Homo-oligomer: A and B are copies of this chain.
Amino acid sequence: MRTDVTVGIDVGGTNTVFGLVDEQGKCLAESSIATNAQDPPESLVDRLAAGIQEMHAPLAEACRIVGIGIGAPNANYYHGTVEYPPNLGWKGVTPLVALFKKHFDVPVAITNDANAAALGEVRFGAAKGMRDVIVITLGTGLGSGVIANGELVYGVNGFAGEIGHTTVDPNGRECGCGRRGCLETYASATGMCRTVFELLCDSREESELRDVTFRQLKGRMVTEAARRGDKIALAAFEYTGRILGMKLADSIAHTTPEAIILFGGLANAGDLIFEPTKRWMEQHVLGIFKGAVKLLPSGMPEGNTAVLGSAALIWTELLKTR
């Protein structure tokens, strides 16, 4: 008997990763192609279909594809669409699920990458067996997926879980979304870099980061400087953790998850970000929630994370109806 596998696909601004994943979260094969974000989406789907067939061919006797899960920016789970994505050249609303259905006669589901990551953590990662979880992806921006009562919360229009766009300060930093003071302008790799320059202005402390331009500075450089004991870099982590911890206390007041999982580039800084975030989160949280919510790193294998998340999305759909 052939093993059932799903295809997990993660559409990024630069590359699109895809792979075959079994029910236990084992990634049997993985590959990637350029997204070519300025081309029409049909071109990406055609190339992905070919890539998937090619990947599956040598495994066709061992496994059969039973579903496809897609993580993509501005994805609408309810409609199977990608709507006005800021980092892709696609105009308006793209019916991405329908485009895949032309190539594959299996269930296809789509959501954004943070929701896919949340489903991945619950099915294959650090939140296995948990019914209430929030996953926060700390990359260029801050994405989030909210799981309550064992189910992902999509909300009335399919876009719920945008904790990165809760407001820290209505007169604060300009955000890519057009508003000011959103959490992701503080708690993300780029947000932390903005904080570094604020601290460089405010303080007279010596720092290796005084020799870096705004455009050059990356989150990883702040992490490395902090590990070398640079006081400005350390203060930037403290500030980032303070804002993030304070806002996570608000999230806890909403759905009180068993765990909040920090995921992505900035989360890889480890204790540098976890320690202040946890400390400020506990300080700000309501008494009845103190000590109730774990702050955890991702439990998914690093290389396959995005593919596993998207695969978890479709496994979740398939196992609902079994």
B287 adjacent to A178 (CB under 8 Å)? yes
- Give the one of A156, A251, A292 with max B CB within 10 A: A156
A288 to B78: give the CA distance in the assembly, Å. 14
A292 to B154: give the CA distance in the assembly, Å. 13
Task: Choose from B146, B149, B177, B288 the contact partner of A254 (Cβ within 8 Å).
Answer: B146
B287 adjacent to A177 (CB under 8 Å)? yes
- Give the one of A146, A148, A170 with max B CB within 10 A: A148
Residue A162 CB within 8 A of the other chain: yes
Please choose the segment from A18-26, A43-51, A255-263, A295-303 that sits at the chain B interface, where 4 or more of its residues have CB less than 8 A away.
A255-263
We find that the number of chain A residues with CB closer than 8 angstroms to chain B is 41
A111 to chain B, nearest CB (A): 14
Residue A161 CB within 8 A of the other chain: yes
Residues of B within 8 A of A114 (CB): none
A132 adjacent to B155 (CB under 8 Å)? yes
Residues of B within 8 A of A146 (CB): 148, 254-255
B255 adjacent to A157 (CB under 8 Å)? no
B257 adjacent to A163 (CB under 8 Å)? no
Q: Which residue of B lies closest to A166 (CB)?
A: B250
Residue A165 CB within 8 A of the other chain: yes
Would A149 and B153 be within 8 Å (CB), given that A166-B250, A167-B249, A250-B166 are in contact?
A: yes
Could you mark each residue 216-254 of chain A with 1 if its beta carbon is under 8 Å from any beta carbon of chain B, else 0? 000000000000000000000000000000100111011
Residues of A within 8 A of B (CB): 74, 83, 132, 146, 148-149, 151, 153-157, 159-163, 165-167, 170, 177-179, 246, 249-251, 253-258, 284, 286-289, 292-293
